[in-house]
């Protein structure tokens, strides 16, 4: 039965794969610029996609502008924050300090220490007054009445979140990575959003990446800043189309009763946040629930991002392998109108995205071969690339304007110059790294050689006590 239900997705994947193989054969059987057909298809798809996102995102921003001053409903939900942490002693203090100093503090904060061996226990004890007892894994801070911590053996992030849910009785559950620092109004923005909209099932905040390190760290922060900016505008666009499929696990909020009905997070999945929203849409369609999923521009935070080539590729390998894993798991939803815009529109595009890195890398390899061989087709190919860079530049500048209007801030003057430079540099550097990470994700999934690992390795240096 599942094979019959997934035939649309399988056929679409086979078609996209066949077109890519034909584009490779075209190098030998076609002439003129068509020998670069992989590049042309890549450019056409990507250009259509950014045009669609630009239009939808503009509508979403206008809608947000119109409702920015809406009053909050009288019934205000309680909010609990779960911070899953493994070997995060170096970043945990900043995260907890930001949580404890919120303008609208959460009713409950539960830190889940997932078998850390780096001094996280000492941080919680000496800086935040959490006195663990050997026979009692759950402890409450003697300093902060809304802060608790749960110690457990290392079983992974999804299992840590599920374990924490047993100790939560608030209406709203916010999941927060231990290296994510909230702006002062972030929790209040989430509380207000759930209070205003009874059908709201899941939300994510808007993240800004920060990278530690010298030259390499600054380069990765530069590229990822604009990548994240465009990604969150894209989420606004898909939200406007009722087809949002991802809320960032680094900072997301859910109704607790929805999480309970979905039986929590899937520990077998490499990207538990992405998989959960697929399951949410699937469950809602089958049970007649009209749940909504949103991104909140008023709930903002900064989060650690990879600052080295190896760290970046490892992260993107896991992300893409998890994306493929989830795409395959829910393939029966692809093209199925029963699942609304997600089934009719979003998931078919995701099928194309599974192979988009192959198109992008093929286009680049062919371009290099044309340059080396001084091919006659090089000139028209370069014209296409220049036109595409001009389109990307226009979109990048538009995105900077729209994003900052959306979050209610003026962009710094230097950001315009950095955005312009990124538009010229990305296609020949960062974009290739992203595609390479995706290719590694394909390899990892097919060989089953990937697992979730935290960014930071354990450091056994004791954390000094502060008075």
Q: What is the pLDDT of residue 463?
A: 39
CA-based nearest residue to 86, from 177, 201, 191: 177
What confidence score (pLDDT) does residue 456 get? 57
Judge residue 46's burial from the number of C-beta atoms within 10 Å of its C-beta, 0-12 exposed, 13-18 middle, 19 or more buried.
middle
pLDDT band at 269 (very low <50, low <70, confident <90, very high): very high
Q: Residue 8's pLDDT is what?
A: 83
Asked if 396 and 420 touch (Cβ cutoff 8 Å), the reply is yes
Give the Å distances, CA to CA, from 442 to 318, 324, 436, 445. 10, 8, 10, 5
What's the rounded Cα separation, in Å, for the pair 457 and 467? Answer: 27
Whose CA is closest to 109, among 81, 142, 143?
A: 81
Q: What angle in degrees, to the nearest 10, is found between the helix axes of 347-373 and 7-29?
A: 10
Question: Contact at 8 Å (CB) between 396 and 419?
Answer: yes
User: Residue 467: what pLDDT?
Assistant: 35
> pLDDT at position 449, please?
75
Place 448 in a pLDDT band, splitting at 50, 70 and 90: confident
pLDDT tens-digit series, residues 111-159? 999 998 988 889 999 999 999 887 789 999 999 999 999 999 999 999 9
Tell me what pLDDT residue 465 has: 40
**Residues comprising the chain, all counted:** 467
Distance (Å, whole) CA 241 – CA 18: 29
Residues paired with residue 206 on neighbouring β-strands, in sequence order: 300
Q: How far out from the chain centre does Cα 388 lie?
A: 25
- Residue 460 binned pLDDT confidence (cut-offs 50, 70, 90): very low
Measured distance CA(377)–CA(456) in Å, rounded? 47
4 pLDDT higher than 80? no
Contacts with 152 (C-beta within 8 Å, 6 or more apart), sequence order:
112, 113, 114, 115, 137, 160, 163
| CA gap 92, 77 in Å, rounded | 26
Q: Is the pLDDT of residue 461 over 50?
A: no
Distance CA 68, CA 406 (A): 10
- Over the stretch 337-396, which tens digit does the pLDDT of each residue have? 999 999 999 999 999 999 999 999 999 999 999 999 888 899 999 999 999 999 999 999
> Does the pLDDT value for residue 15 go beyond 90?
yes
Structure tokens at 157: 């992030």
Q: How high does pLDDT run on average in the chain?
A: 91
Q: What is the 3-state secondary structure (H, E, C) of 123-174?
A: HHHHHCCCCCECCECEEECCCCCCEEEEEECCCCHHHHHHHHHCCCCCCEEE
Q: What pLDDT is attached to residue 63?
A: 87
pLDDT tens digit sequence for 100-123: 999 999 999 999 999 989 888 899
What is the pLDDT, as a whole number, of residue 71?
A: 56
CA-wise closest residue to 362 among 33, 44, 42, 30: 42
87 contacts 172 by C-beta, under 8 angstroms = no
Residue 410 in tokens: 């003026």
The pTM of this model reads 0.92
* pLDDT attached to residue 3: 55
Angle at 211 between CA 208 and CA 213, to 5 degrees: 160
3-state secondary structure of 98: helix
With a cut of 50, say whether residue 161 has pLDDT above it.
yes
Give yes or no for residue 46 having a pLDDT over 90. yes
From residue 115, give the alpha-carbon distance in Å to each of 21, 119, 121, 175, 295: 46, 11, 10, 18, 32
Are the beta carbons of 38 and 362 closer than 8 angstroms?
yes
pLDDT of residue 16 exceeding 90 = yes
Superfamily covering domain 76-337: Spore Coat Polysaccharide Biosynthesis Protein SpsA; Chain A (3.90.550.10)
Strands 108-114 and 79-85: parallel
Backbone angles phi, psi at 228, to 5 degrees: -65, -40
| One-character DSSP codes across 258-303 | HHHHTTS--TT-S-HHHHHHHHHHHHHHHHT---EEEEEEEEEEEE
pLDDT, mean of residues 64-73: 65
Q: What is the DSSP letter of 199?
A: T
3-state secondary structure of 189: helix
The ranges assigned to domains in the chain are: 2-64+350-447, 76-337
Q: What per-residue confidence (pLDDT) applies to 358?
A: 97
Question: Residue 302 — left, alpha, or beta (φ > 0 → left; ψ -120 to 50 → alpha)?
Answer: beta
Nearest to 82 by CA among 210, 169, 145: 169
Task: Summarize pLDDT for 178-233 with one digit per residue, the tens.
Answer: 999 999 999 999 999 999 999 999 999 999 999 988 899 999 999 999 999 999 99
Report residue 318's pLDDT band, with 50, 70 and 90 as the boundaries.
Answer: very high
């Amino acid at each position: 039965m599942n094979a019959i239900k997934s035939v649309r997705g399988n056929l679409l994947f086979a078609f996209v794969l066949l077109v890519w193989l034909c584009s490779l054969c075209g190098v030998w059987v076609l002439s003129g610029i068509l020998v670069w057909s992989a590049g042309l298809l890549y450019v056409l798809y990507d250009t259509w996609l950014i045009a669609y996102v630009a239009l939808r995102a503009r509508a979403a921003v206008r809608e947000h502008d119109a409702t920015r001053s809406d009053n909050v409903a009288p019934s205000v939900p309680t909010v609990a924050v779960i911070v899953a942490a493994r070997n995060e002693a170096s970043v945990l203090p900043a995260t907890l300090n930001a949580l404890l100093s919120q303008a609208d503090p959460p009713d409950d904060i539960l830190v889940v220490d997932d078998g850390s061996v780096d001094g996280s226990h000492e941080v919680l004890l000496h800086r935040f007054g959490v006195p663990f007892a050997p026979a009692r894994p759950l402890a409450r801070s003697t300093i902060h009445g809304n802060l608790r911590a749960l110690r457990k053996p290392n079983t992974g992030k999804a299992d840590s979140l599920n374990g924490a849910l047993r100790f939560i009785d608030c209406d709203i559950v916010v999941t927060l990575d231990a290296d994510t620092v909230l702006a002062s109004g972030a929790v209040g923005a989430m509380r207000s959003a759930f209070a205003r909209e009874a059908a709201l099932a899941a939300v994510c905040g808007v993240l800004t990446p920060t990278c530690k390190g010298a030259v390499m760290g600054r380069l990765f922060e530069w590229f990822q800043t604009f990548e994240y900016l465009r990604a969150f505008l894209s989420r606004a666009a898909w939200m406007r189309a009722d087809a949002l499929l991802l809320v960032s696990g680094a900072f997301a909020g859910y109704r607790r009763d929805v999480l309970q009905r979905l039986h929590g997070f899937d520990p077998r999945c490499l990207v538990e946040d992405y998989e959960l929203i697929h399951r949410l849409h699937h469950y809602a369609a089958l049970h007649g629930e009209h749940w909504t999923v949103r991104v909140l521009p008023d709930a903002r935070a900064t989060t650690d991002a990879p600052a080295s080539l190896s760290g970046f590729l490892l992260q993107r390998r896991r992300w893409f392998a998890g994306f493929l894993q989830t795409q395959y798991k829910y393939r029966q939803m692809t093209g199925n109108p029963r699942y609304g815009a997600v089934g009719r529109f979003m998931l078919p595009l995701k099928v194309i995205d599974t192979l988009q890195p192959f198109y992008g890398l093929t286009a680049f390899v062919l371009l290099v071969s044309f340059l080396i061989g001084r091919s006659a087709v090089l000139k028209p190919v370069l014209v296409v690339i220049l036109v595409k860079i001009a389109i990307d530049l226009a979109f990048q500048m538009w995105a900077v304007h729209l994003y900052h209007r959306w979050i209610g801030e003026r962009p710094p003057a230097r950001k315009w110059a950095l955005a312009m430079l990124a538009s010229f540099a990305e296609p020949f550097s960062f974009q290739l790294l992203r595609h390479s990470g995706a290719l590694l994700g394909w390899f990892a999934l097919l060989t089953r050689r990937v697992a979730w690992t935290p960014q930071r390795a354990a450091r056994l240096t004791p954390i000094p006590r502060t008075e």
